[in-house]
Amino acid sequence: MDLKKLLSLLLIFCLVFSFVACGSRDVDDDDDNGRASSSRRIDEDDEDDEDDEGGKGRGKDKDKDKGEDEDVDEDNDEDEDNDEDEDKKDNDKDDDDDAIDNDDEDDKDSGSIKDIFAAYPKGELPKGYPIDKYPIYKDGHVWMGMEEDQGGYSRFTVAVVYAEKFDTIDQYFADYLKDADDYNDVKSPFGNDYKGTMDGYKFEIIIANTAEGLVSATIALTEIPSADSVLKSLDVAELPAGFPVSDFPIIDGAALFNVSESESDGLVSYTLDIYTDKTIKEIIGFYDDNLTNVEDKSKSSDNNGFNISGSSNGYYFYISGYKEIEDNVELIRYFIEIIPI
């Protein structure tokens, strides 16, 4: 091989080698640039992602959180709405139930009866009314109740109406009044009137129909005071100083209501007005035992009164009495009259 060919071959190898080296360097550079650009792209993507996370990303997260919160709030709102709906339903149900209950109670307790009783005011039994002795029939509408002080005793007036049959109410009162003392009943087309004395009261009870189709019971009770209280109120006089009480005594527990005396020729006559709760028989027995030296004695009696007369210890005497009602208490009012002989 000649020198020219050898030089030509070397030159060719050098060119080839330089091309190979340049190609290799370009590839490396491209790889590095690729890596760098790729790295930059990755970093930019990461930054974009971070921005997205911080910005758009955070916005998405916020939107997500917001969405979740809204979902939760919506769920809570829906739950609250549901609860409110349920509460409303329950309240409506309770209101309906209450309305039904009230209607039931109105129907049960009053209903149309309430309308019937509307013409009568709402009253009550007066304080002290003897409900145990004079009861009123069940479900009665008390529209009037009064108590009057009669000076030591009470008078009660009570008016009641009933949505019952006349016979039911009338029979109820008739049954518990029938054993009263001095019982009397008067029946008429206008109603029935019951009178008598029972359990410390004088009563009058009238049962009648009303214009509204009801039945009325009007109860009038007058308290019967005790005999002791009545006698105490009647004991207002004093025995005259010259009255011979040892010869003509006054029965125990009596009330000296009035005295009078008169004089003639120096002799004094006396008259005593006396109340007692003793019976006629007891009074006669008392004076039979306590009048002494009696001459020309005479006595008589019946269920309503008595008379005793004669002379004793220098006096003519007349003792007489009769039944009398004072403040609804039956007493004997009697007089002792003595005239000097």
DSSP string, 206-257: EEEE-TTS-EEEEEEEEE---HHHHHHHH------TT--TTTSPPPTT-EEE
The continuous run of DSSP H or E covering 139 comes out as none
Q: How many other β-carbons are positioned within 10 Å of the β-carbon of residue 223?
A: 19
Helix 3-54 vs helix 56-105: angle between axes, to the nearest 10 degrees?
A: 30
Q: What is the DSSP letter of 146?
A: E
User: What does the pLDDT read at residue 299?
Assistant: 96
Contact 145, 124 (CB under 8 A): yes
What residue spans define the domains of the chain?
A: 117-224, 229-340
Please, is 332 exposed, middle or buried when counting C-beta atoms within 10 Å of its C-beta (0-12, 13-18, 19+)?
Answer: buried
**SS3 state of residue 107:** helix
User: What does the pLDDT read at residue 287?
Assistant: 97
User: What does the pLDDT read at residue 45?
Assistant: 46
Scan for tokens 């009325």, then name that residue.
Answer: 216
Considering the entire predicted model, what is its pTM?
0.45
User: What does the pLDDT read at residue 116?
Assistant: 85
At 255, phi and psi to the nearest 5? -110, 125
Contact 237, 221 (CB under 8 A): no
Alpha carbon 203 to its chain centroid, in Å, reads 27
- Domain spanning 117-224: which CATH class is it, in words? alpha beta
CA distance 180 to 134: 12
CA distance 280 to 251: 12
For each of the chain's 341 residues, which pLDDT tens digit applies?
A: 455 555 555 555 555 455 444 444 444 444 444 444 444 444 444 444 444 444 444 444 444 444 444 444 444 444 444 455 555 445 554 544 444 444 444 444 444 556 789 999 999 999 999 999 999 998 899 999 999 987 668 999 999 999 999 999 999 999 999 999 999 999 999 999 999 999 999 999 999 999 999 999 999 999 888 899 899 999 999 999 999 999 999 999 999 999 999 999 999 999 999 999 999 999 999 999 999 999 999 999 999 999 999 999 999 999 999 999 988 789 999 999 999 99
Please, is 212 exposed, middle or buried when counting C-beta atoms within 10 Å of its C-beta (0-12, 13-18, 19+)?
Answer: middle
